[in-house]
């Protein structure tokens, strides 16, 4: 019974890990095109490299945080960067998590506007209101939403790949050109580093509250493997689909072309993945805010929602192109320090 309980919690941790990383850019296809698919078959190698970094880096980050007893990413930063640099790094990390969460919220608006024909403001308001409701449930809400949404994303990714394969459109000869430039070689490192830095806000408190270190390791490794599989599945699909350059949500266009029967359900899945990242970002920021202002309580969550409402005038594609590449390269420093610093003793 204890072993089953541990594996159940490990799966919950894995789902939170995957759900935090798979946000607007990943689930809609824009992020995968930006970092992998645009480089052709060289991007496939990049997927493997990123997957290995997600598995190793996620496990090392979470175990390190647990052994330190870190309740927030600020405490982990003190160990990684030192007391002098950690305040600046934490400030940058906070801006990073806030910026990415803003991208996710704008992505939710894009789903409502592009796929449903609804006003962007309605999508943003609905997303922020639902996220606040889940946040009030704390850890249970975070786990519950991710455990529900992540399996749907896996199922649909596999289904679309099989559908394209049976239709004879998978990995066409004209879609296999490779780009082995320096930018292509750096892409998987910047992508993994950026997403680990963003997920740090959620993974650190989750690791501390887990039952034991074994559960943390299992959850991190399982999450890394799931991310690798999803990256490979979606990269292969987008590599085989020629009409995605001008779309803000290219994966939805793939589904509309090859699997129209379930198109609207897939839009719901895309929105669900965006929603999990919004929750993850708000959850991490609220936990960090509680560490700074212990008496803040629930009003901090309300304040965060009001602040993120300011992203509504911007377009999702513009935010993605500005925020993601820059933060990816900044986060490489975190990835390097995870490798360099010694693991604390138990």
Res 172: pLDDT: 58
DSSP secondary structure, 15-42, as one string: HHHHHHHS-HHHHHSHHHHHHTGGGBTH
What is the pLDDT averaged over residues 144-155? 90
Nearest 5 degrees, angle CA 45-CA 21-CA 163?
A: 60
Query: Residue 132: what pLDDT?
Result: 82
pLDDT at 234 over 60: yes
Backbone angles phi, psi at 40, to 5 degrees: 65, -140
Task: Output the six-digit token pair for 192.
Answer: 């993994």
- 3-state class of 199 per DSSP? helix
Closest CA to 27 of 246, 198, 267, 207: 267
- pLDDT tier for residue 105 given thresholds of 50, 70 and 90: confident
For residue 186, give both structure tokens: 């750096």
Mean pLDDT of the region 318-333: 66
Which is nearest to 339 in space by CA: 192, 137, 209?
192
Residue 169 burial (CB count, 10 A): 17
Percent of the chain with pLDDT over 70: 85
CA distances from 242 to 32, 110, 115, 166, 170 (A): 14, 22, 20, 17, 11
The answer to whether 306 touches 124, Cβ cutoff 8 Å, is no
Q: pLDDT digit string (tens) for 210-229?
A: 878 999 999 999 999 999 99
pLDDT tops 80 at residue 300: no
Both tokens of 156, joined, read: 């649909």
pLDDT of residue 247: 65
Residue with tokens 């085989």: 240
Mean pLDDT of the chain: 82
Q: 201 or 249: whose pLDDT is higher?
A: 201
pLDDT digit string, tens, across residues 168-199: 666 655 555 677 888 889 889 988 998 898 89
In the prediction, which pLDDT does 232 show?
92
Lowest mean pLDDT among 134-143, 201-210, 274-283, 313-322: 313-322
Integer Cα distance of 319 and 311 in angstroms? 9
**What is the chain's length?**
346
Task: Identify the CA nearest to 317 among candidates 29, 21, 19, 22.
Answer: 29
Local confidence band at 21 (pLDDT 50, 70, 90 cut-offs) = confident
Binning pLDDT at 50, 70 and 90, where does residue 239 land? confident
Q: For residue 17, what pLDDT is reported?
A: 95
Cβ neighbour number for residue 137 with a 10 Å cutoff: 12
Q: Choose the weakest-confidence range: 135-139, 232-236, 246-250.
A: 246-250
Mean predicted confidence (pLDDT) in 237-256: 70
Residue 34 has pLDDT above 70, yes or no: yes
User: Which pLDDT score, from 0 to 100, does residue 53 have?
Assistant: 96
Q: Are 301 and 132 in contact (CB under 8 A)?
A: yes
pLDDT-derived band at 253 (thresholds 50, 70, 90) equals: confident
Taken in order of first residue, the domains within the chain and their CATH numbers are 10-340 (1.10.4160.10)
Tokens of 193: 């580093």
Euclidean distance between CA atoms 115 and 103, whole angstroms: 17
Alpha helices in 73-181 (DSSP H): 73-110, 120-136, 139-166
Average pLDDT of 118-131?
87
Give pLDDT tens digits for 154-163: 888 888 888 7
CA distance 5 to 281: 27
* pLDDT for 328: 63
The answer on pLDDT for 301 being more than 70 is no
Nearest CA-CA partner of 239 in 30, 33, 27, 28: 33
Q: Which of 31-35, 127-131, 186-190, 220-224 has the highest mean pLDDT?
A: 220-224
Query: What is the rounded CA–CA span in Å between residue 177 and residue 41?
Result: 6
């Amino acid at each position: 019974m204890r072993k089953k309980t541990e594996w159940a919690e490990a799966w919950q941790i894995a789902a939170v890990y995957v759900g935090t990383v798979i946000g607007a850019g990943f689930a809609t296809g824009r992020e995968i095109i930006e970092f992998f698919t645009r480089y052709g078959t060289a991007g496939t190698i990049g997927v493997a490299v990123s997957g290995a970094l997600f598995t190793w880096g996620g496990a090392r980050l979470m175990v390190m945080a647990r052994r330190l007893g870190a309740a927030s990413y600020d405490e982990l930063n003190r160990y990684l960067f030192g007391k002098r640099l950690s305040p600046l790094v934490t400030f940058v990390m906070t801006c990073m998590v806030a910026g990415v969460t803003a991208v996710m919220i704008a992505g939710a608006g894009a789903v409502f506007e592009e796929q449903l024909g609804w006003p962007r403001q309605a999508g943003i308001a609905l997303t922020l209101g639902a996220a606040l409701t889940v946040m009030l449930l704390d850890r249970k809400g975070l786990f519950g939403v991710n455990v529900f949404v992540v399996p749907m994303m896996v199922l649909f990714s596999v289904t679309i790949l099989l559908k394209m394969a049976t239709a004879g459109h998978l990995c066409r000869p004209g879609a296999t050109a490779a780009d082995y430039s320096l930018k292509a070689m750096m892409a998987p490192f910047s992508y993994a580093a950026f997403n680990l830095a963003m997920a740090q806000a959620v993974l650190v408190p989750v690791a501390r509250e887990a039952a034991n270190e074994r559960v943390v390791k299992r959850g991190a490794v399982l999450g890394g493997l799931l991310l690798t599989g999803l990256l490979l599945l979606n990269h292969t699909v987008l590599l085989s689909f020629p009409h995605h350059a001008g779309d803000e949500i290219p994966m939805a266009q793939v589904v509309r072309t090859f699997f129209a029967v379930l198109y609207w359900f897939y839009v719901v899945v895309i929105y669900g993945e965006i929603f999990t990242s919004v929750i993850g970002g708000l959850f991490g920021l609220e936990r960090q805010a509680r560490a700074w202002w212990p008496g803040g309580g629930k009003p901090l969550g309300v304040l965060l929602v009001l602040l993120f409402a300011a992203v509504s005038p911007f377009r999702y594609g513009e935010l993605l192109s500005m925020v993601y590449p820059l933060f990816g390269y900044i986060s490489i420093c975190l990835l390097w320090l995870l490798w360099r610093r010694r693991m604390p003793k138990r």
